[in-house]
Amino acid sequence: MKIDIGARIRSLRLQKSMTQEQLAQKLNLTPQAVSKWENGVGMPDIQLLPELSVLLGVTIDGLFSMTDDARFDRIENMLEDVRFLPEAEFAQTERWLKEQREDETARPRATLLLAQLYNKRADEYHELAAPLAREALALNPEAKDAHNAIFDAEKGVHQDWYWTNHHRLIDFYKGFVDGHPGDPRACMWLIDLLIADGRLEEARAYVERMRAARDDWRCEMYLGQISRAGGDLPGAMAWFERMTAREPENWLVWADYADELAKLGRFREALENQLKAMPLRKAPRFVDPEESAAQLYEILGDRASAAKMHRRIMEIMRDDWNVTEGEAVDIHRREIARLEGEADG
């Protein structure tokens, strides 16, 4: 795809009678950067695509020579790697995905990506709203609506049962499970919701339905969660111990046990279990234990170790996933800067 876009940029640039230097100047880049694109050595940063397409007189997708599958792949990568989508890129992507939904073969993938695109836009606006809501509260500490805005942007806890329960989503997943009785993962989504809403006997029944489809350590995990939600802490801990005894070499078991301990405020024990999970993984490694450990270290007041966990995540992303750029890495750079800035302060 690098070669295709490089040749395309060169062709369009020449049609506009522009030199590499002129195009680079308009983009506030060096001529060497444009030369690298056109020679297939690199490709433009995605943030440049809207401006580049305008300068060359084509749509963003017009810069690329690729199949629909490749374009789907590019959208998936963009949703993961770009922190804030430019308006032109969002509109172009939305329009193309809506068009693809008219194709019966492409409809499933296009529909999912369109939903993910809208969710990303919602997350972007929440990220923009959060500091503004905090500033509004600082400007007017008596403003109740400012608290509401902060909670809406940062997913705060609301106490109103009628506002926070999941009865409509539960009904949807009950129907989905009935239609896919052999899918244990569908049961898991439903059980999570039932436990969150305190519908514990229903949750227990669905654990048994899940066990019929796939009997593994997650059954003990859910029975422990149900016991904890019902106030039986010793019973919950017994189930969690059975879970770790059942699959002691499974990193997910220790990571999930750590999560349960963290929910109980037992942060040091939770951290010990996340550290125990880390060496049990095989490449390519997921970074859930480091993500959790970074938060646990910060809660415990050890910002230096929290920053170290974020560096470790970046190393795993590089070594196991060959990811060195984009939002998947940038978010950890920001966290390191924040943690070390707070530590210095």
Q: Give the whole-angstrom CA distance, residue 306 versus residue 317.
A: 17
pLDDT for residue 92: 85
pLDDT at 5: 81
DSSP conformation letters of 86-107: -HHHHHHHHHHHHHHTTSTTTH
For position 134, what pLDDT does the model report?
A: 97
Q: CA 205 to CA 164: how far, in whole Å?
A: 23
Tell me if domain 1-66 and domain 249-345 are identical in fold. no
Query: 5-33 pLDDT, tens per residue?
Result: 888 888 888 888 999 999 999 999 999 99
130-155: string of b/e by CB count within 10 Å (b at 16+)? beebeebbeeeeeeeebeebbeebee
The rounded percent of the chain whose pLDDT value lies above 90 is 73
DSSP state for residue 286 in the 8-state scheme = P
Domain residue extents for the chain: 1-66, 79-156, 157-247, 249-345
- The Cα–Cα gap between 94 and 102 comes to 13
pLDDT in tens, 56-90: 888 777 777 667 887 888 899 889 888 999 888 89
pLDDT at 77: 87
What homologous superfamily is domain 249-345 in, according to CATH? Tetratricopeptide repeat domain (1.25.40.10)
Name the stretches of the chain with pLDDT < 70: 1-4, 65-66, 342-345
The C-alpha atoms of residue 291 and residue 194 are separated, in whole angstroms, by 26
Give dist(CA 200, CA 206) in Å, integer: 10
Domain 157-247 has CATH 1.25.40.10: yes
Q: Which CATH architecture has domain 1-66?
A: Orthogonal Bundle (1.10)
